[in-house]
Amino acid sequence: MADRLRARELFDELGERLELRWVGGQRGGERLIERGEHLSRRPSLAGYLNVIHPNKVQIIGSAELAWLDGLDARTRWEILFKIMESRPLALVITQNQSCPADLREAAEESETPLWVSPRRGYELLNLLQYHLARALAPRVTLHGVFMEIYSIGVLVTGDSGAGKSELALELISRGHRLVADDAPEFTQIAPDVLDGTCPELLQDLLEVRGLGVLNIREMFGDTAVKRNKYLRLIVHLDQSPEQGEEAMARITGETGSRKVLDLDVPVVALPVAAGRNLAVLTEAAVRLHLLRSKGIDPAAAFLARHSAFLQQGDPQ
């Protein structure tokens, strides 16, 4: 998705679902909001009519229309001018209420999109907030193969030629699912959630050296691919592991984290060497991650057992 969203695009995407009618300001269809614009200037992307801290999409319900009707002519004109001056992406009137003539006229003069919906205000608010937040959320493209393994999203990374695609193909043959190859896109849709998707151009495709581009859906069926998944773990294929591996790493494994947008994602490094079954090791890494997420850490349990043994002393 682009870094910006136009009023006409929002209308086209949600118009049928929200039963929107465009009743004024048709020339404002190119008005847009850019990603990140709202973070420093506006408290929310969509909300009920707010003149002091204007939302990008202003929802006008029965209470807001009643408040406008209670103003004297001069104050009402000043308020309407202030609403249009804030340049909202659109104004939405709820419950098919009649649009005041002066509001429609102000929208036409300022080229502000004015929509009417039969939905109640809270329905519009929930759907608009969700859609706008997702469309304009921070986004990054990472190099690797993104898969669903044992129900969690796993990004397989590594240098070119490390065997990422071959590993993905073997994992698919073992019943796991492909989300995206080469350039998965990750969107931070919540403070602790990274949603990974595949660019439309690469949908269902996996490139394997020696075989070329494979269509995984056609080869393995619909169950072999998935549209999106939350990123929970990164498995890094290390082609050049350091010599003289530390003893502690033999117990705890090569683990760490990688910052993706605002989140620290756990990383497991798997040394690549001849004869190693990377598919089995990757599955084991995912199972171990699932155990640790439940508070079960075999390495920590072993170290505790070892410490207890040393404290007991030599029984002889």
Q: What is the pLDDT of residues 203-224, one digit of tens each?
A: 999 999 889 999 999 999 999 9
Give yes or no for a contact between 228 and 197, defined as CB atoms under 8 angstroms apart: yes
Q: What is the pLDDT of residue 2?
A: 57
DSSP 8-state secondary structure symbol assigned to residue 225:
B
Q: What is the pLDDT of residue 245?
A: 58
Residue 3 CB neighbour total at 10 angstroms: 11
Cite the residue boundaries of each domain of the chain with CATH code 3.40.50.300. Answer: 139-306
Give dist(CA 127, CA 93) in Å, integer.
Answer: 15
Binding residue ranges for ATP: 158-165
Give the helix/strand (H/E) hosting 214. strand 212-215
Cite the residue boundaries of each domain of the chain with CATH code 3.40.1390.20. Answer: 4-135
Helices (H) and strands (E) in the chain, counts: 11, 18
Q: What is the pLDDT of residue 21?
A: 94
Q: What is the pLDDT of residue 315?
A: 52
Q: What is the mean pLDDT of the chain?
A: 89
pLDDT over 60 at 40, yes or no: no
Q: What is the pLDDT of residue 41?
A: 54
Which residues are known to be catalytic? 143, 164, 182, 250
Closest by CA position to 33, among listed 89, 77, 81, 71:
89
Closest by CA position to 34, among listed 60, 9, 59, 11:
9
| Least confident among 86-90, 166-170, 254-258 | 254-258
Binding residue ranges for Mg(2+): 165, 207
Give yes or no for a contact between 44 and 33, defined as CB atoms under 8 angstroms apart: no
DSSP 8-state secondary structure symbol assigned to residue 3:
S
Q: How confident is the model at residue 247 (pLDDT cuts 50, 70, 90)?
A: low
Q: What is the pLDDT of residue 299?
A: 77
Q: How confident is the model at residue 119 (pLDDT cuts 50, 70, 90)?
A: very high
Closest by CA position to 202, among listed 251, 168, 253:
168
Give dist(CA 278, CA 188) in Å, integer.
Answer: 29
Give dist(CA 80, CA 148) in Å, integer.
Answer: 51
Q: How confident is the model at residue 45 (pLDDT cuts 50, 70, 90)?
A: confident
Query: What is the arithmetic mean of pLDDT over 224-232?
Result: 95
Q: What is the pLDDT of residue 160?
A: 85
The CA–CA distances, whole Å, from 91 to 74, 145, 182, 199, 303 equal 21, 42, 41, 32, 62
Query: What is the arithmetic mean of pLDDT over 183-201?
Result: 92
**Interaxial angle between packed helices 121-135 and 7-18, expressed in degrees from 0 to 180 and rounded to the nearest 10:** 140
Closest by CA position to 230, among listed 188, 174, 182:
188
Q: What is the CATH number of domain 139-306?
A: 3.40.50.300
In this structure, whether the domain defined by 4-135 belongs to CATH 1.10.1370.40 is answered with no
Binding residue ranges: 158-165, 207
- Identify the residue with better confidence: 3 or 80: 80
Q: What is the pLDDT of residue 43?
A: 56
